[in-house]
Amino acid sequence: MKHCYKYLVPFAFVGLISLPIGNLMAGNPDRVGQEGATELLINPWARSSGWAGSNVSGARGLESMFTNVAGTAFTKKTELLFAHTQWLKGSDININSFGLTQHVGETGAVGLSIMSLKFGDIPITTSDIPEEINGTFSPQFINISLSYAKGFSDNIYGGLAVKVITEKIANLSTRGVAIDAGIQYVTGKERQLHFGIALKNVGPRMKYSGNGVSFKTPVPASTSTQTMTVDQRTAQFELPSLLSIGAGYDFYLLKDTAAIKTHRVTVMGTFTSNSFEKDQFLLGLEYGWKNMLMLRAGYAYEKGITKVDSRTSVFTGPSAGFTIEMPFGKNKSTFGIDYSYRATNPFNGTHSIGARINL
């Protein structure tokens, strides 16, 4: 009975969280673009974005906080990660990210990640004289995530993350909270078979407020020059909730020892049901050599993506990337460099580069 309990707890946990948003997981293309806080859909990490985010079932370490938070439970000691993304190169949008995961207890791990979007200086103009520039402003979008994950058995891992969302311009701002939850299941003689479920961006509606929705107007029926300030109501918007289900398999071409696999080929596939976007099929392939060199490619398919007239995303589907990871020190620590490219049309693609340290 105790053995069964370890297996039932994580699945019941995700099931209970899934119930309140059952109606949101419709994947209705008619609702495309009606959500807010869409930066929650941006993957700022170079390793997982290289194969189109298809590794929901196999994500490991800090990057799992975006794809499937359950994967942070695989953190052995401490992992530090920095990443920089040129988002839609040519648009002058840059994303800087930092994260830390720490192993705690026997099978647990806590994590922290921060993602900041920089849009540069945007000119301030008016509708009356649009050609006249009256200074500049710079929007500030910041997401902060805190996570905890745990291994419930040798095969099942679960995790939960809480995200704080902040969006701000000169005279308007909004804040919100979202929750992610995930499960990973690993099995097989060589632990080569992976399954994963991730529920993301579940939270209350958000709305903007501030001086930007206020204006002055003359007092009605007044003979004087008095004015009053009127506050306009702003509409609430929902978060881009989604549910991802994925599977993967590791093929070992040459086995040297039980711990070291010289040549590995991993195939990953994920189906993502979006509340306000088209549903996606994500496919990924990665080759690994002694966990020191990894080459990967991916493809994100959604309805109409192959035709310019019907495509509703700037991304055209393909992505690719690589990782170079080298050991150092006596404690088997590693230092790695990650890079990924995601094809777009228009713009000149999205480029991400990251540096990680596993202590």
The single-letter DSSP state of residue 46 is H
Give CA torsion, residues 70, 75, 81, 83, to 10 deg.
-30
Q: Is the pLDDT of residue 29 over 70?
A: no
Q: Average pLDDT of 116-138?
A: 85
**pLDDT class of 122 with cuts at 50, 70, 90:** confident
**pLDDT class of 255 with cuts at 50, 70, 90:** low
Most confident of 26-35, 252-261, 306-315: 306-315
How many residues belong to the chain? 359
**Residue 230 DSSP SS3:** strand
* Domain boundaries of the chain, sorted by first residue: 2-211+232-358
**Residue 40 DSSP SS3:** helix
Residue among 280, 355, 342 nearest 87 (CA): 342
Rounded Cα distance between 187 and 123, Å, is 55
Q: Is the pLDDT of residue 8 over 70?
A: no
Question: What does the pLDDT read at residue 20?
Answer: 46
Q: Which residue has the higher pLDDT, 28 or 49?
A: 49
Q: Flag the least confident range among 23-37, 56-70, 222-236, 320-334.
A: 23-37
Question: What does the pLDDT read at residue 320?
Answer: 98
What are the CA-CA distances from residue 118 to residues 91, 93, 190 (Å)?
Answer: 11, 6, 43
Rounded Cα distance between 61 and 101, Å, is 7
**pLDDT class of 21 with cuts at 50, 70, 90:** very low
Q: Flag the least confident range among 38-52, 181-195, 218-232.
A: 218-232
Residue among 293, 321, 278 nearest 43 (CA): 321
Domain 2-211+232-358 sits in CATH at: 2.40.160.40
Q: What is the pTM of this model?
A: 0.87
Chain segment 79-104, per-residue pLDDT in tens: 999 999 999 999 999 999 999 999 99
Q: What is the percent of the chain with per-residue pLDDT over 90, rounded to a whole number?
A: 65
**pLDDT class of 190 with cuts at 50, 70, 90:** confident
| DSSP collapsed to 3 states, 53-64 | CCCCCCCCCCCH
Give CA torsion, residues 286, 101, 43, 267, to 10 deg.
20
Q: Average pLDDT of 256-265?
A: 73
Contacts of 174 (CB under 8 A, 6+ apart): 165, 166, 167, 168, 206, 207, 208, 209
Which position has the token pair 């000169």? 170
Radius of gyration for the chain, computed over Cα atoms and rounded to the nearest angstrom = 23
Rounded Cα distance between 68 and 181, Å, is 7
Rounded Cα distance between 197 and 166, Å, is 27
